[in-house]
Amino acid sequence: MFDTASVQKRWALPDGSGRKVPKVNGFWHGAVYAQVGDESIVLDGATGQDRQTSAGMAPYEIDRYGSLVGSSFYRAKG
């Protein structure tokens, strides 16, 4: 993952942790939404560490109004 301001590399997978490289679907507010096999995960964009495992879904399009997963729209909470 790269820092957008400096274009410097922040982290990369694989990192020796044994984790499979996730398929990244989207980014929003410092979170990286991805899938590893059939499991959806959320990674911290700054560190690459898990924020949430078994996230339930990894949206392709994310904004302040909601997210798009496949052909379904999920309204943002709050």
Going from N- to C-terminal start, the domains of the chain cover 1-63
Q: In what order do the strands lie in the sheet with 72-75?
A: 61-63, 66-69, 72-75
CA distances from 39 to 8, 23, 53, 55, 58 (A): 29, 10, 8, 8, 9
* pLDDT value of residue 57: 75
Among residues 42, 77, 39, 76, the alpha carbon closest in space to that of 68 is found at 76
**Helix or strand or coil: residue 72?**
strand
CA distance 30 to 37: 22
pLDDT in tens, 11-67: 887 777 777 888 888 888 888 888 888 888 899 988 888 887 777 777 778 888 888
| Architecture of the 1-63 domain | Beta Barrel (2.40)
